[in-house]
C-alpha cells in the first residue's frame, strides 16, 4: 500500500505509513511543520487556471546525512545520496472527477544543488485512506522519504497527494486513473513555479515512478504524457512498482477465489481492506448500489462508508473490518463481482487499460514474486499488453519479499536506473 506503511493496492497505503513511521529523523527535522506558529506558510495569488500555484508551506529540511539515516530506517539503499533537501507542501488548482474546479496538495522536494536546470522525478504514492497520512502533511511518511531520496540524488521530486488526500477537499477517488493523471499533470506547472522561485528550472522530460496504487498511476501518467502533444512535458523514462494493472482479471479473482498465502494469492486481511475501499470509492463514482446493505453484510453496512471518509487511519479502518472479504460482502455482491455487468463492469474495467499503449521511452516494470497484496501476475499481464503493442520491456522481479518489501527493494533500483538514463 504505502512505503513502510504499505498495502498492495492497499499494501501501498500501509507502506507509505510504514516508511513514514520508521523515519524518526524526518519527524525531528520536520517537527516545526506541525505547529502553525512555527511553520511559515507562503501564499501566492489565487488564480483560476489549472496548474496555478495557490500556496507553499515548508515541511522539511534535511542534510545529506539525515536523508541517509532516514532512508536506512526504512531499508532503502542510500548510495545515491549527494545533497541535503528542502521539502514543501504545495496547494494547486486542478479539477475533480466531473471536471469541476478544485484544489489538490502535493509534496515537492528540492536538492541543495547549484541553481540551474534539474532533472525531474514524479513519484506516485500507494494506497492511502487517511488524508493526514499524505507525504505532504506528515513526516511519518515513507513516501516522503522516497521523495527525499530522489531529491538528494539531484532531482526535483514531485509527489502528488491525488484528490481528497493531504489538504485537498472531498473524498479520494481510490485507484481512479483519470483523476490520478489530472492531479499529477496539473501539479507539474505549480511545482515548476516553486522551483523557479528557488532558482531552479525543472527539466520537462520526466522520470516517472510509483508504488502499488502509484504503480498503476505512474503507468497511466506515462501513457498520458506520451499521448498529449499540447503540453510541454514529455516522458523520459517510466518505472512502475507493484501496480494493480489488472483489477478485473487478476486482483478480483485472487481476492475472491484464491485468498491465502500462496503464490498469486492475496492475504485475506489485506484483501478485505482493499475490496472495502475499492467498493466504497467506485460506488461514489459509478453508483454500484443503492444502499450499503446491498454490498456489505451487517453490521459493516452501517459503518464501512464512514471508515473511508478520509479521517480514519489505516489501523482504525482495519480494526473496523472483518478478517476476510467473505465476512464483509453479501453473497449477492460477491457473485456480481465474479460476473460483473453494468456499472460494476464499468468500474472493474475502467482502470485496467493503463498498459494498452506503445511507449517510445524506456520502461521497466518492478514487482515481487512474494507479493500477497498485488500479485506479480499484474505486472506479467502488463508486460504482455505492452508486448502486444510491439514494445518489449523488462520485468524486474525483486524476489520473495512482501508488498512493502517490493517497494523497499525497488525504489533504489529505480533511482539507479533513472540516473543511468539521465
User: What DSSP line would sit under 100-132, residue for residue?
Assistant: -EEEEEEEEEEESPPSEEEEEEEEE------GG
- The angle at the Cα of 344, spanning 340 to 348, to the nearest 5 degrees, equals 85
**Would the pLDDT of 248 be above 50?**
yes
Q: What is the mean pLDDT of residues 377-405?
A: 97
**Would the pLDDT of 34 be above 80?**
no
Output the CA torsion 90→95→96→99 (10° steps).
Answer: 180
Output the CA torsion 9→110→362→399 (10° steps).
Answer: -40
Q: What is the mean pLDDT of residues 40-61?
A: 75
For residues 367 and 213, what is the distance between their CA atoms, to the nearest angstrom? 13
**Would the pLDDT of 11 be above 50?**
no
Q: Which of these ranges, 104-108, 206-210, 262-266, has the smallest mean pLDDT?
A: 262-266
Residue 223 placed within a domain: yes
Give residue for cell 533500483: 413
Rg (Cα) of the chain, in Å, rounded?
A: 20
**Would the pLDDT of 23 be above 50?**
no
At residue 265, the pLDDT reads 82
Quick check: helix, strand or coil at residue 297?
A: coil
* Rounded percentage of the chain residues whose pLDDT exceeds 90: 85
**Would the pLDDT of 17 be above 50?**
no
Q: What are the grid coordinates assigned to 245, written together? A: 494493472
Residue 269 placed within a domain: no
Residue of 302 and 262 predicted with greater confidence = 302
pLDDT tens profile 86-96: 999 999 999 99
**Would the pLDDT of 249 be above 90?**
yes
At residue 319, the pLDDT reads 98
Residue 328 placed within a domain: no
At residue 2, the pLDDT reads 66
Bridge partners, residue 120, by sequence: 156, 206
**Would the pLDDT of 20 be above 90?**
no
For residues 368 and 124, what is the distance between their CA atoms, to the nearest angstrom? 18
pLDDT tens profile 352-361: 999 999 999 9
Overall domain count for the chain: 1
Residue 298 placed within a domain: no
pTM for the structure as a whole: 0.90
pLDDT tens profile 309-343: 999 999 999 999 999 999 999 999 999 999 999 99
Q: What are the grid coordinates assigned to 235, written together? A: 516522458
Residue 48: pLDDT band (50, 70, 90) is low
One-character DSSP codes across 82-108: -S-EEEEEEEEEEE-TTS-EEEEEEEE
At residue 230, the pLDDT reads 84
Average pLDDT, the chain: 90
Residue 21 placed within a domain: yes
Residue 254 placed within a domain: no
pLDDT tens profile 65-94: 999 999 999 999 999 999 999 999 999 999
Residue 390: pLDDT band (50, 70, 90) is very high
Q: What are the grid coordinates assigned to 60, written together? A: 522539511
Out of 45-54, 226-235, 240-249, give the one with best mean pLDDT.
240-249
Output the CA torsion 265→266→267→268 (10° steps).
Answer: -110
pLDDT tens profile 217-234: 999 999 999 997 788 999
For residues 204 and 224, what is the distance between their CA atoms, to the nearest angstrom? 14
For residues 161 and 180, what is the distance between their CA atoms, to the nearest angstrom? 9
At residue 56, the pLDDT reads 98
CATH code, 75 = 3.40.50.1820
DSSP-derived letter for residue 330 is -
Residue range of the domain that includes 39: 8-246+352-421
Residue 336 placed within a domain: no
Bridge partners, residue 158, by sequence: 108, 122
Residue 159 placed within a domain: yes
Amino acid at each position: 500500500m504505502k512505503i513502510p506503511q504499505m498495502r498492495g493496492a492497499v499494501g501501498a497505503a500501509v507502506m507509505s505509513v510504514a516508511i513514514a513511521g520508521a523515519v524518526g529523523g524526518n519527524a525531528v527535522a520536520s517537527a516545526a511543520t506541525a505547529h502553525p506558529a512555527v511553520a511559515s506558510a507562503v501564499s501566492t495569488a489565487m488564480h483560476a487556471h489549472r496548474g496555478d500555484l495557490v500556496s507553499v508551506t515548508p515541511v522539511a529540511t534535511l542534510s545529506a546525512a539525515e536523508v541517509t539515516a532516514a532512508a536506512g530506517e526504512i531499508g532503502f539503499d542510500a548510495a545515491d545520496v549527494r545533497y541535503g533537501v528542502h521539502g514543501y507542501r504545495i496547494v494547486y488548482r486542478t479539477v475533480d472527477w466531473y471536471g469541476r474546479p478544485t484544489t489538490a496538495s502535493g509534496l515537492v522536494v528540492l536538492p541543495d544543488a547549484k541553481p540551474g536546470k534539474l532533472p525531474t522525478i514524479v513519484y506516485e504514492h500507494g494506497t492511502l485512506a487517511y488524508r493526514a497520512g499524505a507525504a505532504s502533511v506528515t513526516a511519518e511518511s515513507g513516501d516522503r522519504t522516497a521523495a527525499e531520496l530522489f531529491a538528494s540524488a539531484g532531482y526535483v521530486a514531485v509527489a502528488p497527494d491525488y484528490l481528497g488526500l493531504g489538504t485537498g477537499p472531498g473524498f479520494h477517488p481510490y485507484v481512479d486513473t483519470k483523476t490520478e493523471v489530472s492531479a499529477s499533470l496539473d501539479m507539474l506547472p505549480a511545482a515548476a513555479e516553486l522551483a523557479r522561485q528557488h532558482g531552479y528550472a525543472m527539466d520537462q522530460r520526466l522520470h516517472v515512478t510509483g508504488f502499488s496504487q502509484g504503480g498503476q498511476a505512474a503507468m497511466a501518467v506515462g501513457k498520458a504524457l506520451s499521448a498529449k502533444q499540447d503540453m510541454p512535458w514529455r516522458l523520459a523514462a517510466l518505472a512502475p512498482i507493484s501496480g494493480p494493472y489488472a483489477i478485473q482479471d487478476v486482483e478480483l479473482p485472487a481476492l475472491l477465489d484464491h485468498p491465502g498465502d500462496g503464490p498469486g494469492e492475496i492475504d485475506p486481511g489485506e484483501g478485505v481492506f482493499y475490496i472495502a475501499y475499492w467498493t466504497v470509492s467506485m460506488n461514489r463514482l459509478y453508483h454500484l448500489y443503492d444502499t450499503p446493505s446491498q454490498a456489505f453484510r451487517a453490521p459493516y453496512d452501517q459503518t464501512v462508508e464512514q471508515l473511508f471518509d478520509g479521517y480514519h487511519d489505516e489501523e482504525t479502518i482495519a480494526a473496523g473490518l472483518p478478517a476476510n472479504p467473505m465476512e464483509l460482502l453479501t453473497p449477492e455482491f460477491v457473485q456480481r463481482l465474479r460476473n460483473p455487468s453494468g456499472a460494476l463492469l464499468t468500474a472493474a474495467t475502467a482502470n485496467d487499460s493503463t498498459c494498452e499503449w506503445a511507449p517510445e521511452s524506456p520502461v521497466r516494470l518492478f514487482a515481487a514474486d512474494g507479493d500477497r497484496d498485488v500479485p506479480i501476475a499484474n505486472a506479467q499481464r502488463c508486460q504482455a499488453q505492452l508486448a502486444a503493442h510491439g514494445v518489449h520491456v523488462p520485468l524486474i522481479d525483486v524476489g520473495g519479499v512482501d508488498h512493502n518489501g517490493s517497494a523497499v527493494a525497488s525504489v533504489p533500483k529505480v533511482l539507479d536506473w533513472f540516473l543511468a538514463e539521465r
